[in-house]
Amino acid sequence: MKLSLRAALMTATVFVAAPAVAQMSDNPMVGGAAMLAERNIVENAVNSADHTTLVAAVQAAGLVDTLQTDGPFTVFAPVNAAFDALPAGTVDTLLMPENVGALTEVLTCHVLGANAMSDVIGGMIADGGGVHTVETLGGCMLEVRSANGMITLTDETGGTATVTIADVVQSNGVIHVIDRVLLPAADDGAMNADENPMVGGAPMFADRNIVENAVNSADHTTLVAAVQAAGLVETLQGEGPFTVFAPTNAAFDALPAGTVDTLLMDENRPALTRILTSHVVAGNISAAELASMARASSDGFHHFNAVSGAALSAQVRPSGAVYIYDESGNAYLVSVADVNQSNGVIHVVDGVLLPR
């Protein structure tokens, strides 16, 4: 850790404390549970169905007693889906007793030694000309911004989390629910946010392009065959950047019987190309960015177009999971997010996005 927790409690640069004036009846529900303002952070967190991973991590790191003290603390609390989005095996590795130091560093990147309600945070962002930098109890430096009425936090790796539920008042501070795990810089011994998850049993290398990685995934052999049949290999090996929503083999198998075989026929190449390019978007768009734009939208959806011209929409569910809707209104889960490529990013989806 950059600072010991004890030292950080005394020396970290923090927000100005704000009184916890909300009554328990004013608190939002979190993870399907009532949050009671007369209970402390741990007492409330254990009741949230969306924070079981966070609670397990706090217990494994031995931080329960600390977060039950008077504080005050501000806790940015990642949902289970945020931990699930980390590279495969990361959480299990951090929960091992020998990694308690790294786990503690990650967790204390989410804690401030003050009671910072959203209006206080907003005021400091305004005073800073649109951004305010704060040091957490773990010594992590976070950049805090506001966009379209949503507070975001950018960690030392460049990852950005959005506050999805603000101002959950506690007896010893406040909780703000976030949709991404905040990470310390890689050279501090914690995990690197740029590390890619495994896909289809294969490592994904950020210095390889979309096609070079996709051909190694056992879950994407149908997609690769379709890209080859459509003559799109060279395009997807170009500089881009591209955001590709990559359906699994199971997603293609779920189409009506014979659909894939028919699409792979030479005479149906235009139709196959239109379907495949309905999964490709110009630019490098992270799952967090999709979620942030969806939450900022008046209807709760981020509407955008694939390179085929097909209309797509992204929605983030209360669990933090991101779903992509095709033109027919079918919704498919982003099951593996943010697989970085040299020419963009892949998000694995569990359905084929079909144009009308």
Q: 121, 151 in Cβ contact below 8 A?
A: yes
pLDDT digit string, tens, across residues 211-221: 999 999 999 99
Q: Which of 240, 237, 236 is nearest to 277 (CA)?
A: 236
Phi, psi of 191 (to 5 degrees): -75, 155
- The Cα 154–Cα 133 span in angstroms is 9
Element (H, E) at 162: strand 160-170
Residue 186: pLDDT band by 50, 70, 90 thresholds?
A: low
- The Cα 156–Cα 167 span in angstroms is 24
The position carrying tokens 């305010």 is 132
Tokens of 190: 């914690």
For residue 9, the one-letter residue type is: L
Q: What percent of the chain has pLDDT over 70?
A: 90
For the ranges 6-15, 50-59, 201-210, which has the lowest average pLDDT? 6-15
Calculate the alpha carbon distances from 236 to 209, 245, 350 in Å.
Answer: 8, 13, 21
Residue 98: pLDDT band by 50, 70, 90 thresholds?
A: confident
What's the whole-model pTM score? 0.51
Q: Is 123 helix (H, G, I), strand (E, B) or coil?
A: helix
Apex 193 CA angle, 211 and 173, nearest 5: 145
Q: Which CATH class is domain 210-349?
A: mainly beta
Q: Is 94 helix (H, G, I), strand (E, B) or coil?
A: helix
The position carrying tokens 């600390």 is 66
Element (H, E) at 332: strand 331-341
Q: Which of 158, 167, 129 is nearest to 146 (CA)?
A: 129
Whether 228 shows a pLDDT value over 80: the answer reads: yes
DSSP 30: B
Cα–chain-centroid distance for residue 99?
A: 23
- The Cα 261–Cα 63 span in angstroms is 56
Pick the CATH number of 5-188 from 3.40.50.150, 1.20.1630.10, 3.40.190.10, 2.30.180.10: 2.30.180.10
* Summary count for the chain: helices (H), strands (E): 15, 14
Q: Which of 71, 40, 46 is nearest to 168 (CA)?
A: 40
Q: 175, 44 in Cβ contact below 8 A?
A: yes
Per DSSP, which regions of 171-300 are E strands? 173-178, 242-247, 280-282
pLDDT digit string, tens, across residues 148-170: 888 999 988 778 899 999 999 99
Q: Start-end ranges of CATH 2.30.180.10 in the chain?
A: 5-188, 210-349
Phi, psi of 58 (to 5 degrees): -60, -40
φ/ψ bin of 247: left (φ > 0), alpha (ψ from -120 to 50), beta (otherwise): beta
pLDDT digit string, tens, across residues 285-341: 998 889 889 888 899 999 999 999 999 999 988 767 889 999 989 999 998 899 999
Tokens of 259: 């659909």
Residue 262: pLDDT band by 50, 70, 90 thresholds?
A: very high
HSE-CB for 298 with a 13 A CA cutoff:
0
Tokens of 223: 């997609």
Q: 112, 73 in Cβ contact below 8 A?
A: yes
